[in-house]
Amino acid sequence: MYLPPHDPHVDDPMRFKPLFRIHLMERKSATVECMYGHKGPHNGHIQIVKKDEFSTKCNQTDHHRMSGGRQEEFRTWLREEWGRTLEDIFHEHMQELILMKFIYTSQYDNCLTYRRIYLPPRRPDDLIKPGLFKGTYGSHGLEIVMLSFHGKCAKGTKITGDPNIPAGQQTVEIDLMHRIQLPDVENLRNFNELSRIILEVREQVRQEQQQQQEGQEEGQGRARPSARECPPGPAYQKPEQPVPAPARGAEGGGGTEKSVEAVGGVPRAAPEPAPSEAGQPFVLPAGVISRNEDYPRTCRMCFYGTGLIAGHGFTSPERTPGIFILFDEDRFGFIWLELKSFSLYSRIKATFQNAEPPSPEAFDEMLKNIQSLTT
């Protein structure tokens, strides 16, 4: 099992913890040992359920118990998983979330079902290399997110979850056709200014989607989007000459005009030119909460996006507006407007063998399957 580093140190390497092992014996026989707990290897079982899926079962779960009972088990788990003691955690809500996670994960006693996941395929026009990232999620600690690109948008899919948003759900979705030009640093410190910019883009996206829907209903719309796109959304055409970036606000927002062509009754907006590698100054607006104050102070570019929030047990889920900040090839961030919270993501640099999908369609199908498991 690959565990994220201790919260909030997203740039630290992943941690490795053996869960089971297989001894290959003579005459094609094998023995399975469970590695869970603190009493050493003990008898276990592995079953191949179907293609790309297997289950593990511990036959001696008493080896997982500790002499001090559940309290000792919880304190040991807390020290190993979070790198701290219960006395270090003063926030009552965080204590509750951590206890929920311990109860949920420890009840399985290493009796688990594993399903294969693929790493995202890479294409030449991707913003950065897709892959796995460690991200800060407030009191939930660090979680693993898979960043993948799908034409006009990018998706961040949770590989590990929490009591609010389970694994398999799209934690963030980035609209790559609506780039946001940040104001200068002094104005960026003003949360209301950033909020105004993001909400202007949200309204623009809503209007474009409405226009596209009306065009389709009149028989003038595009053909149905392919699986590599993120519907619904407007159609776009790349111009021969790049469109200058707006001085402030969002593309097309804040009184700034944009280049538009009308094709088949649907407005087609021109994307912005590639950003300079030098980047621009970045600072979190006042009042935005961050688990990690050691975030980059320059960014390459920003895009409009939405983040998924929900109550405990994934109740009343909804997508809320936010902004995706690309810092460099290995780090990005997301500001959750409604939560006034900032998540920092850092690339997992561990190498995984045989993780490439046989086709882009196979990767899309995998994403759909892991989401359906928790929907």
**Residues 362 and 283 reside in one and the same domain:** yes
Structural domain total, the chain = 2
- Counting every residue, how long is the chain? 375
**pLDDT(241) > 60:** no
| Mean pLDDT estimate for the chain | 83
How is residue 120 written in tokens? 């995202």
Same domain as 196, residue 325: yes
pLDDT band for position 220 (cuts 50, 70, 90) = low
Instruction: Report pLDDT for 277.
Output: 53
Does residue 180 lie in a domain region? yes
| Residue 302 lies in domain | 120-207+276-373
> What is the maximum span of the chain, computed from C-alpha positions, in angstroms?
76
Summarised one tens digit per residue, pLDDT across range 208-217 is 999 888 888 7
- Residue 255 pLDDT > 50: no
| pLDDT for the residue 375 | 64
Residue with tokens 């993948």: 148
Q: What is the pLDDT of residues 171-207, one digit of tens each?
A: 999 999 999 999 999 999 999 999 999 999 999 999 9
> 229 pLDDT band (50/70/90 cuts)?
low
Assign 279 to helix, strand or coil: coil
Check whether residue 168 and residue 307 sit in a common domain. Answer: yes
346 is a domain residue? yes
Same domain, 158 and 291: yes
Asked if the bond preceding 275 is cis, omega within 30° of 0, the reply is no
Structure tokens of 195?
């909020």
Same domain, 368 and 298: yes
Residue 285 sits in the same domain as residue 166:
yes
Question: Which pLDDT tens digit goes with each residue over 114-165?
Answer: 999 999 999 999 999 999 999 999 888 899 999 999 999 999 999 999 989 9
Beta bridge partners of 324: 303, 334
Distances (CA, A) of 132 to 17, 182, 188: 18, 27, 29
pLDDT for 230 equals 67
Q: Is the residue at 250 inside a domain?
A: no
Residues 6+ apart with CB under 8 A from 304: 174, 175, 178, 179, 180, 198, 201, 202, 205, 250, 321, 323, 324
Residue 252 inside a domain? The answer is: no
Same domain membership, residue 176 and residue 43:
no
CA distance 179 to 301: 8
Q: Average pLDDT, stretch 343-349?
A: 96
Determine, yes or no, domain membership for 110.
yes
Claim to verify: residue 350 and residue 326 sit in the same structural domain: yes
Average pLDDT for 250-267: 32
Contact call for residues 157 and 169 (beta carbons, < 8 A): yes
Looking at the structure, do residues 134 and 43 belong to the same domain, yes or no? no
**CA separation for the pair 184, 284 (Å, rounded):** 12
Pick from 114, 146, 174: which residue ends a domain?
A: 114
Q: Which residue has the tokens 């003579």?
A: 26
For the residues 291-314, what does the mean pLDDT come to?
A: 93
Is pLDDT of 50 > 80? Answer: yes
Can you tell me the mean pLDDT for 46-62?
Answer: 91
In the predicted model, what is the mean pLDDT of residues 342-363? 93
If asked whether residues 108 and 126 sit together in one domain, one would say no
Answer yes or no: is 248 within a domain. no
227 inside domain: no
Give alpha helix (H) positions in the chain. 69-82, 92-106, 185-188, 191-217, 360-372
Does residue 151 sit in the same domain as residue 290? yes
- pLDDT for 325 beyond 50: yes
Last residue of a domain, one of 90, 114, 138: 114
Summarize the confidence of residues 73-79 as an average pLDDT.
88
> Is the model's pLDDT at 263 over the cut of 90?
no
Q: Tell me the average pLDDT across 335-343.
A: 96
104 and 164 fall within a common domain: no
Mean pLDDT of the 342-356 span: 93
Better-scored residue on pLDDT, 318 or 212: 318
Selected residue with higher pLDDT from 13 and 77? 13
Return the minimum-mean-pLDDT range out of 75-84, 127-136, 250-259: 250-259
In a domain? residue 216? no
Question: Of 84, 114, 144, which residue sits at a domain end?
Answer: 114
